[in-house]
Amino acid sequence: PKSRFDAQPVHEYYDYAALRERLGSARVEGPLTTGHATVFPNFAYLPVNGSIRVWHPKGPDEMEVWAWTVLDKSMPEEVRTAQRLYNLRTFGPSGIFEQDDGENWSEIQAISHGWRTNTLPLNYQMGIGTEQDDGVHPGSTSALYSDAAGRRFYARWAELMNTPAWHEEATDG
Mean pLDDT, the chain, whole residue set: 81
- In the predicted model, is pLDDT for residue 63 greater than 90? no
pLDDT in tens, 86-124: 888 888 877 888 777 778 878 887 888 888 888 888 888
- In the predicted model, is pLDDT for residue 4 greater than 80? no
- In the predicted model, is pLDDT for residue 172 greater than 60? no
pLDDT over 90, % of the chain: 9
Fold of 8-120: Naphthalene 1,2-dioxygenase Alpha Subunit; Chain A, domain 1 (3.90.380)
- In the chain, where does the domain assigned CATH 3.90.380.10 lie? 8-120
Give the residue-averaged pLDDT of 115-139: 82
What pLDDT was estimated at residue 21?
92
Which is more confident, 83 or 144? 83
Q: What secondary structure, in 3-state letters, does the chain show?
A: CCCCCCCHHHHHHCCHHHHHHHHCHHHHHCHHHHCCEEECCCEEEEHHHCEEEEEEEEECCEEEEEEEECCCCCCCHHHHHHHHHHHHHHCCCCCHHHHHHHHHHHHHHHHCCCCCHHHCCCCCCCCCCCCECCCCCCCCECCCCCCHHHHHHHHHHHHHHCCCCCCCCCCCC
The predicted model scores a pTM of 0.67
